[in-house]
Copies of this chain bind each other. A is one copy, B any other.
Amino acid sequence: MSLQILGQQAKQASFDLATLSTSQKNAALAAIADQLEAQQESILAANKIDLDAARQSGLSEALLDRLMLNSERLAGIASDVRNVISLNDPIGSEMDCRVLENGLRLSRRRVPLGVVGVIYEARPNVTIDIAALCLKTGNASILRGGKETFHSNMALVAVIQSALEQSGLPAAAVQYIEKPDRELVAELLRLDEYVDMIIPRGGAGLHKMCQENSTIPVIIGGFGISHIYVDNSVDLAAALNVIENSKVQRPSACNALDSLLVDQNVATELLPMLAERMNKASVKLVATENAMAGLASAKDLQAAGEGDFDTEWLSYTLGVKVVADVEEAIAHMRTHNASHSDAILSNNLPAVERFVNAAGSAAVYVNASTRFTDGAQFGLGAEVAVSTQKLHARGPMGLEELTSYKWIGIGDMLARP
């Protein structure tokens, strides 16, 4: 099927989805959850084909694990869909209702975006996750997963589409780009006649490719260097707990700490404690010249080179730099892509205010871990993506960020502009 036709069908389905009641959408979600469990066998069989091929092509154990489905994981995915049912449906709510002086009654009503295109990597759970969140917000979705998950995704989409039809909804509400050609991604990015938003879920390369080639608005995000700046006004044991949490809790996450900026007034005291703590957590330290002496007791220490402070480590590695004050910390962050999650550990109010105001990050923390940047943590109930751009949505995106609004003006034939 050509992408043009896929797009047309999605747009047509989006017209139907936009006027569904919440209970109709929830019934379809319930059918999807039930079918995921009922059709376990065919899904796991398809997943096995992907897994076998992935093993043969020598995919790493970590990637194989991301790809792998089993009964327990499928039950978890079904449970996530049921969780989406319980979330508040933002569609139809009205904001800024008022009567203008000329008599027009004006409001903004939340409506679906229309059609959302999602390009993602080798995680089959994303297929269900995105489809469910789009459905809940009345959006049609066009999905394109990694080629390693092809058979799994086809099986999952078949389950979704049969559940949609069973619920009286158009199957084209959730569609999958079946062919593996990379050119189709480029074509999807230019389908602006039908698609209203593109969400890339993957590495910086995918985002860059979407940014450069898409004629459709793209949500850029999911990466950025995370910083903590710490000064001498805080309890150092507590500060080390926050630093360790930010770095170690899940190093592969985009909100994990990349660079620690240590105020010169606390460096002599803090750096040896940091070395000891990071030794215990098996964290490698990559430090500027001015931090090397203080970190001498670190088991795994190396001098920072070109680009190290522009690196999102995604691993047990931490950049360390001694800075003169909060201003140098801010200047460092501005030149090293602080756009995601950054924190200050300080009880010095002017420094805190300055940091919070100046940080260019989607999420700024005071005396708290960068790991908080997460839709579930923020109570959004779901996370579509974490945006690091400034338009439309910034930081964790929940259901509301999958919506737009329309202005509605009600007159009596007499109100005049």
List residues of A whose CB falls within 8 A of some B CB.
15, 18-19, 98, 100, 102, 104, 106, 113-114, 192, 196-197, 211-212, 215, 217-218, 234-235, 238-239, 241-242, 245, 249, 334, 345, 356-369, 371-374, 377-379, 389-392, 394-396, 404-417
B367 and A406 form a contact (CB under 8 A): no
Closest to A417 in B: B371
Q: Which of A114, A212, A366, A390 has the most CB of B within 10 A?
A: A390
Given A100-B379, A192-B211, CB of A362 within 8 Å of CB of B406 = yes
A408 and B100 form a contact (CB under 8 A): no
User: What 4 pairs across the A-B complex have the smallest Cβ distances?
Assistant: A368-B411, A390-B404, A238-B413, A363-B407
| 28 A-B residue pairings within 8 Å (CB atoms) | A15-B334, A18-B358, A98-B379, A100-B378, A114-B390, A197-B390, A212-B215, A217-B217, A238-B413, A241-B413, A245-B416, A359-B406, A363-B407, A364-B406, A364-B407, A365-B411, A366-B411, A367-B410, A367-B413, A368-B411, A368-B413, A369-B415, A372-B417, A373-B407, A391-B391, A394-B405, A395-B406, A396-B407
Contacts of A395 in B (CB 8 A): 406-407
- Oligomeric state, in copies: 2
B407 and A377 form a contact (CB under 8 A): no
Contacts of A362 in B (CB 8 A): 406-407
**Interface residue from B241, B334, B377 paired with A100 (Cβ < 8 Å):** B377
Q: How far is the CB of A133 from chain B (nearest CB, A)?
A: 16
Q: How far is the CB of A91 from chain B (nearest CB, A)?
A: 10
B407 and A394 form a contact (CB under 8 A): yes
Contacts of A367 in B (CB 8 A): 410-413
A410 and B366 form a contact (CB under 8 A): yes
Q: How far is the CB of A236 from chain B (nearest CB, A)?
A: 10
Contacts of A404 in B (CB 8 A): 390-391, 394
Contacts of A413 in B (CB 8 A): 234-235, 238-239, 241-242, 345, 367-368
Q: How far is the CB of A332 from chain B (nearest CB, A)?
A: 14
Closest to A369 in B: B417
CA distance A409 to B212 in the complex (A): 33
B368 and A197 form a contact (CB under 8 A): no
CA distance A379 to B368 in the complex (A): 40
Contacts of A379 in B (CB 8 A): 98, 100
Q: How far is the CB of A118 from chain B (nearest CB, A)?
A: 15
Closest to A98 in B: B379
Given A391-B392, A409-B363, CB of A238 within 8 Å of CB of B414 = yes
